[in-house]
Structure formats: C-alpha cells, structure tokens
Structure 1
Amino acid sequence: MAVDSPLLSRMASPTTSEKDMKALKFIEEMTRNPDSVQEKVLGEILSRNSNTEYLKRFDLNGAVDRKTFKSKVPVVMYENLKKEIQRISNGDRSPILSSHPINEFLTSSGTSSGERKLMPTIEEDIDRRQLLGGLLMPVMNLYVPGLDKGKGLYFLFVKSESKTSGGLPARPALTSYYKSDHFRTSDLQSDYTSPREAILCSDSSQSMYAQMLCGLLMRHEVLRLGAVFPSGLLRAISFLQNNWKELAQDISTGILSSKIFDPEIKNRMSKILNKPDQELADPLLPHWSFGHQNDVIR
C-alpha cells in the first residue's frame, strides 16, 4: 500500500508482527481522512439511536447527516442530562439515551464538582476501549526495538465501586476494564509482572506490595515501567522507600510477608515466590538504604 505515512513506511520491517501490522493499518485507515470517518460514525450513532426518547425531542425525521444534527441538537452540559441519567440509575430500562441497554455507569473522579458524575455505558463500549488500548504497544514497538521481548512493570489498581438504586454497577473506567472478561482472559502474565490477583485486590496496600515484589523478582525481564497516572509512580516510589527492607527479606527467604493476607494473592504469590534467592536480594540493599546505615539488613 503506497501511502505517505511514517507508520506504514516502517511496517515493512521483518520484525513487525502480524498483530502489530493489523493495528498500524487500522490507525492509518482511521486517520487518513478523519473528517469523513467522524461523519460516518455520527451517522451510525444517529441511525441506531433514532428511537431514543432524547433524539425524538429534536424532530430529526430520520436524518443522520451532520448539518441537520448541528442545527437541531444542542450542545449540552452534564446538568442538562442529569434527570435522564437519574432515571436510568433508578432502574428505568426504556430507551432514554441509548437504544442499547445500559449495563453500567462509568464514574468521574469528582474533582470538578465535589461529586462523581455518572456516565451511562453499553456492553460494546468496553470493546472500543480495548481496541484503543491495544494500539499503544504496536506504535511503541516501531520506535523502541525489542520492547516487546520483555515485561512491563505497571502499577495498576482497582478503585471503589458501588451500585445504583436500579442495580447497575457504578465504577471508574479502569476498574470496569480490570473486572471485565477482556482483562480476565488477556495474556497478562506474558506482558506484565503484576499478577491479576494483585491488581484486582481492593486493598491498595496489599496490591502495591505484591506488584512491587513481583517487579523486583522479575526485574531482569522488565523493559518498561509505568502507571496510569504520574501520581501512581510517585506512590510506588514512596511505598518502596517505606517497605524496601520487607521486600528484600521476602526475596532472600522465599517467604511472603505477613502484610499480605488476601487469600487469592497469597495463593498466586506462592507460585512466584517459591524459593529463597539471596543473590537476587543482595543488590537491593545498598542501593535502597537511602543513606541510612541502620536501615541496611545485615
């Protein structure tokens, strides 16, 4: 395919996998003419939701073109839809905002107004989020050769969730993904050091401890380090400063700290931390003593 594109010009590399090639072609197709793609997506949304209570208010008469949409459907704020969202939250299953059933609410952080906003979502939305997330590594692999040969130490956490009065889950987008079938069936072990059981643990301290310990145990395989937000890495650094002695002790003895009492994490860690490794633990001590001689384990 002869197209002037930095991505596609590098796709002929023999090291580019078939999976990455497919993702890169998708990026090229979606971005070559984004205006027409956006218009097509809008038409599909209007067509499939033409029978919803919300769109019926604006007398579109079946129109799915952008000009009609812009002239008849106003730009609104969250507050303008709050009553409709509350009805869905309370259990109204009629097609209010979507022709497809609402299966959960994604929640905002609540930093803008002091309370979390509820964003109704449908089952297939998680497929789209999975698709978008899967486009990251194929691009990184183009510019950082061999990055796909090792593991990533990513600090990932679930957050608190609740249920609305109508029985639908209400949770942050990442928590929704981590608890989905997509994540449960993903090949997490080959790509990341963090075990699924640790990520899904609602106790953030146990979750962090297990993820940090696994990262240290597999540190020779780690090629990338990250968190969803920069604050996550700052938390990890602070946690390491406060817990490095226990972590090094676990590695040197092959015995998991009593700080971990979640049964699923303990069961998973028994397969990862299954023997003493003083050689692996020794290099950790002088580098992580942070200048306090009394902190060094003798």
Structure 2
Amino acid sequence: MLPKFDPTNQKACLSLLEDTTSNAKQIQDSVLEAILSRNAQTEYLRGFLNDRVDKQSFKKNLPVVTYEDYRSYIDRIANGEPFDLICDRSIIVLLTSSGTSGGVPKLIPLTEEELEQRMLFVSLYRPLLFKHIKGRSEGKSLMFYFVTRESETASGLMVMTMITCVLKTVTPANKFICMYCQLLCGLVQRGNVSRLGAPFASTFLKVIKFLENHWSELCSNIRTGRVSDWITDANCVSVIGNLILAAPNPELVSIIEQECSKTSWEAIVRRLWPNAKCIEAVVTGSMAQYIPMMEFYCGGLPLISTFYGSSKCFIGLNLDPLSKPCDVSYTTFPSMAYFEFLEIKKDYQETGHDPVVIDLVDVKIGHDYKHVITTFSGLYRYRLGDVLQVTGLYNNAPLFHFVGRQNVVLSIDMDKTYEQDLLKAVTNANLLLEPRDLMLIDFTSRLDSSSFPGDYVLYWELGSKVKDVRVEPGPEVMEKCCFTVEECLDLVYRKGRKNDKNIGPLEIKVVRSGAFDELISFFVLKILEANVVSKFVSRQVPSWELHELHSSR
C-alpha cells in the first residue's frame, strides 16, 4: 500500500513515484502477501486456500472470476451478512460500476482504508502537473464533478458512485444547480482560472452545451448581482450571494456576451478563461471519440488524461501529461493492488486454449492484456473488461495504452467487429464532417438482422460548429462516411460485403439533437426501477369538495 506522505511536498511525491515504479516486483509480492495474510479467514479465501496463503497456492487454487462468479457474495453483504465473507475490514459503501449485470449496476465493495489510498493516489498527480505545465500552480481550478442519487441496500449499506462517495458532503445533489453555480463562479473569476476539467470528456462537453444554453441567464445574474430564483440550494444561494455576486459587474458581462454571441464557439474555453493552462479529462478509450470536439471548443489547450482507474481499483498514472491524447500511456502503480494479466488475442476463443495469467513484471511490450486484480477491499483475481497494450516501461513498471473493451460489439456472419476497431473506423469517417463545420456528438451501433443479408446500423447525433445553424448533412457526405467506416473494418467484414455477400451495406442514421441524453435518462429510470426494495400507495382518497378544503386550513 502507499505509505503516508505529504501531498503538498512536490519533491516527496516525485520521489515516491520513482521508488514505487523502480521496485515493482518487490512491492507486488508484498502487496499479495499482505492481502492474503489479512484476509485468510474470510469465507471466500478459506473455500479455496484452506489457510495456505503463499503465492503458489493462490495461483494454483484461486480461479479468475467475473462479477457473475462473485455476485452471490456481494448480494449477501448487501442483504446484511457480515463483511468478513470477503474482507477483514468493514465495508463502508458499495460503489456502482459503469457496467451492468442482468440490467442493473455491478456493486463493488469499498473499505475506509481503500478510500484513503485512492485519495492519496490521486494527490500524487498534482506535482506532475506542476513539473510539466508552467503556471499550473498559480490560480484556481474549475472542475466539474457531480454527485448522483444514492440508493440503499436492504441492510442499510449505501450504494453510490465513486465521485459521489468523495463529494456528497460538499456538492449539491441537483446536477443542474451544481453545473449552473460552478459556471457562474468560474465566469465571475475567469481571470483566476488556471485549469478546467471533468472526470470524462463527455462530461466536459455536456458542461459546454449547458453553457451554450444558459450563458444569457448567467450574464443576467452577473449584471444584477443576484442569482436566479430557481437556484434553491441554500448553501449555493448563500455562498454565491455573499461572496461571488457581491456587486453587479456589467463590464464582465460585456466580455462574456461578446464571446458567447459570436457565430462560432470555436476555442470558447480559451476565450472565456484566457489564463487556463490545461483541460483535465479522460480522453482515452471510448472517450477518444470526443477528442475532435474537445479540441474545437478548447482551442489548443492541452488535453490531459490524468489517471486510469475504475470503481474496482485505481490502477495507473499518466506520467507524461503533455502527451497527445492518442499517445497516452498509463504507468501501473504496483502499490494499489496485486495485478495479474491475461494476454488477449482476438481469436483466442476459437483456438480452444485458455489464456495464460502472468504477473505485472512479465508482460511484453506490444502485447495486449486484460487486468486481473486482487484488492484489499475483497476482490480476488477479478477480471476487468478493458483491453490494454503494453507500450514500454517506466523504471520497472509497465506502461499501458488503453485500447478499449474486448467484447465483440457487432457480428453478422464470420465477421467480428470489436469496440476499438469500430471506434477507429468512426473516427476516420468523422474527418469527412470537419470541412462542412459538422461534429459527431455521440454514436452507438446495432445489428439489423430483420432481412437478409443483415447489416451494421450506426446512430449518429451531429452538431454544427456554427451557432444556430440547422444540421442538415447532405447524402453525398453521409454516404462517404458509410463507405469510410466499411473501408476501415477488417478483411473478414470486407470479404463478407464484397465476395460472399453475407453482409448488407452499412447504414448511418442521423438522430435529432438531444437523443442520447434522452436515452441516458431512460436507462437511469430503468436502473432505479430495478433497485426498488419496497413501494407504498395512498390508502385514502384525497378531499375534493371545496368546503372540506377550506375547513382543513
């Protein structure tokens, strides 16, 4: 585990980074020894190890598992059974994973100790930014993090996202109020903002869209020195009213209106926050599709993917923050968990051979792997779904480039199109939109097997780089996009299209603006319904006669 250190001491932080990555093997062995010795008496480990806690027994007897293999233990804890089913420390919360199992979120155990470790891990990144970005230590940060609605298990254990777990005590629960107030504070103090950011590129772009829809109202608040009436959170009203909007500021309003009223919002972030040095948001993996939009709005500011982690484990840091988004590699931090790796070959399912599980220090440069993690919070040989490619070493710790998810997303005949391949194809097709001032906002895909031959269907939500211009892509450019996507897919797909004629022409369907936001809202509702543990209805009929209403006052 990470030793205690002063996160404000830049020299100490950088020294810790060097020491930890230089001693990767020794640290990994000690991490596994600590996890097994501490948790040897849990029901889960006893069932496989019978009190043998050496590395050889661990490798030989513990299976590599997925969430479905582990689900019964999590469900038992959620229903009130003791935490020592899987862990020697109290589980303080169940984190919701971005993935789902049976249509509902996966629930990942978290201890107080693990939470503290993750906070220390994140704090290591600040000195790296100070080192690489001149002026980053000056000014303030405008970071857009939002809490989401919490739920509760039958036993009273709280269920929430990792971000909510960290921020729930200091952030309004209503994300629209939160976003509005953060933007208001950021605009009033625009000259002092040295960095902006959000957890993911998609989140940051939602903030820009929100700003586009509300900048006029924000200007009205700054002009009058009074926050809008719909901001009902008492803490927000108090802080903004007393500290941020202390007095009307018509001069600032003129600057903001001048920038936001322009026909194009290109470089709007740099224009509104002229002293910003960087944008911090994950732009790797599935977030890579948003890089063109981020570059358009941010006007050349460095896009920095700080670290790689998930609800299950925080894994690696980007030790070269100024690397291009397409070149980002994360250095695995050996103190955070015990890491093993499954080598991934796209056709390994057909070979009949199980992939070999190897240690962190045994991975090979240029090869693709999946993480298998063993954590202090009670996950043992748990397989993650991300595909990572080894790109080199930092001291003795491997560097991984995030490739994507391994799962096949589209397959009609013999073809198998993977997420990373489809993303690359769509990215290439997106280049055809740029000369026409169009942007790909979001996309998804499906198979249409209602007729023969079946075909791939992509749903694209498009936006314009020019303000208040209706998005009307012509058939010529969209047909070229369809062809470009197909040209980028693998030989099996192209052979199925041309020679075998077992695959129909790829379709792109353009959906109206806001369609993907509606889709997300729909699934949020489905998840809430799936987690209902009890419900109640009114057993009395409300009064409707006028005299009864009067008499009740």
TM-score by length of 1: 0.82
Task: Answer yes or no: is 1:248 the counterpart of 2:237.
Answer: no
Amino acid of the residue matched to residue 92 of structure 2?
N
User: Of the candidates 135, 138, 150, which is equivalent to residue 127 of structure 2?
Assistant: 138
Equivalences for residues 252-291 of structure 1 within 5 A: 252-270=223-241, 271-291=243-263
State which of 126, 129, 134 in structure 1 corresponds to 2:118: 129
Instruction: Please state if 1:209 is matched with 2:199.
Output: no
Q: Unaligned stretches of 5+ in structure 1? A: 1-16, 185-195
Kindly indicate whether the alpha-carbon contact (under 8 Å) linking 1:60 and 1:68 is maintained by their aligned counterparts in 2. Answer: no
| 2:94 aligned partner | 105
The secondary structure found in structure 2 opposite 1:147 is coil
Amino acid at match of 2:255: P
Q: Give 2:14's match in structure 1, choosing from 13, 24, 41.
A: 24
Alignment of 1:77-96 (within 5 A): 77-93=66-82, 95-96=84-85
The offset of 1:137, in angstroms, is: 1.1
User: In structure 1, what is the Cα distance between the partners aligned to 2:11 and 2:148?
Assistant: 34
Say which structure is richer in strand: 2
Q: How do residues 9-88 of structure 1 correspond to structure 2 at under 5 angstroms?
A: 19-63=9-53, 65-88=54-77
Counterpart residue type for residue 138 of structure 1? P
CA RMSD for the aligned pairs?
Answer: 1.9
Partner residue in 2 for 1:120: 109
SS of alignment partner, residue 92 of structure 2:
strand
Q: Which one-letter code corresponds to 1:98 in the other structure?
A: C
- CA shift, 1:113, in A, is 5.3
CA contact (8 A) 2:13 2:127 kept: yes
1:205-243 deviation per Cα after TM superposition (whole angstroms, max 9, x unaligned): 111100000110111011111111111111111111111
How many angstroms does 1:109 deviate by?
Answer: 2.2
Supply the distance in 1 between the matched residues of 2:76 and 2:122 (Cα, whole angstroms).
31
Between the two proteins, what is the percent identity of the paired residues?
A: 38
Deviation at 1:33, TM superposition (A): 2.0
Partner of 1:4: none
Unmatched segments (≥5 aa) in structure 2: 1-6, 265-467, 469-553
- Tell me the alpha carbon deviations over residues 53-109 of structure 1, each in whole angstroms, 9 at most, x when there is no partner: 01101134342x322211111111111111111110001115100011211101112
Answer with 1 or 2: which has the greater Rg: 2
**Cα deviations by residue, 1:15-47 (Å, 9 ceiling, x for unpaired):** xx9611121111112111212211111110001
Counterpart residue type for residue 260 of structure 2: W
Partner of 2:344: none
Q: How many residues are treated as equivalent by the alignment?
A: 258
TM-superposed deviation, 1:123: 1.3
Preserved CA contact (<8 Å) 1:47 1:62: no
Whole-angstrom distance in 2 between the partners of 1:94 and 1:141: 41
After superposition, the Cα gap between the structure-2 partners of 1:214 and 1:203, relative to the gap in structure 1 and judged at 3 Å, is: same
TM-score where L is the length of structure 2: 0.45
* Structure 2 partner of 1:170: 159
CA distance in 1, matches of 2:83, 2:195: 46
Give the C-alpha shift of residue 48 in structure 1.
0.5
What does the per-residue CA deviation read over 1:245-287, in whole Å, with 9 as the maximum and x for residues that have no partner? 1111111221111231111211111222111111111111121
User: What SS does structure 2 have at the residue aligned with 1:145?
Assistant: coil
Residue in 2 aligned with 1:188?
none
Q: Would the alpha carbon gap of residues 51 and 154 (structure 1) be closer, same or farther in structure 2, given more than 3 Å must change?
A: same
Is 1:90–1:166's contact at 8 Å kept on the other side of the alignment? yes
Counterpart-to-counterpart distance in 2, 1:290 and 1:161 = 40
Counterparts of 2:8 and 2:263, CA distance in 1: 49
Matching residue's letter, 1:101: S
Q: SS of the counterpart of 1:228?
A: strand
Matches of 1:277 and 1:211, distance apart in 2: 18
Which residue number corresponds to residue 148 of structure 2? 159
Mapped pair 1:219 → 2:209: no
Alignment correspondent of 1:6: none
Report if aligned partners of 1:251, 1:278 keep a CA contact under 8 Å in 2.
yes
Structure 1 range deviating more: 104-113 or 116-125: 104-113
Matched residue, 1:233: 204
2:30 is matched by which residue type in structure 1? K
- Residue 84 of structure 2 aligns to a residue in which SS? coil
Structure 1 residue runs of 4 or more that deviate by more than 6 Å after TM superposition: none
* Contact 1:251 1:273 (C-alpha < 8 Å) held by counterparts: yes
What SS does the aligned partner of 1:120 have?
strand
Name the aligned partner's letter for residue 38 of structure 2. Answer: R
Q: In 2, are the aligned partners of 1:60 and 1:69 still within 8 Å (CA)?
A: no
Change (3 A) 1:178 1:32: same
Aligned residue for 1:225, secondary structure, equals strand
Q: Does the CA contact (< 8 Å) of 2:83 and 2:91 recur in 1? A: no
Counterpart CA distance in 2 for 1:94 and 1:246 is 49
CA contact (8 A) 1:161 1:171 kept: yes
Contact 1:163 1:170 in 2 (8 A): yes
User: Is the alpha carbon distance of 1:111 and 1:103 closer, same or farther for their aligned partners in structure 2, counting shifts above 3 Å?
Assistant: closer
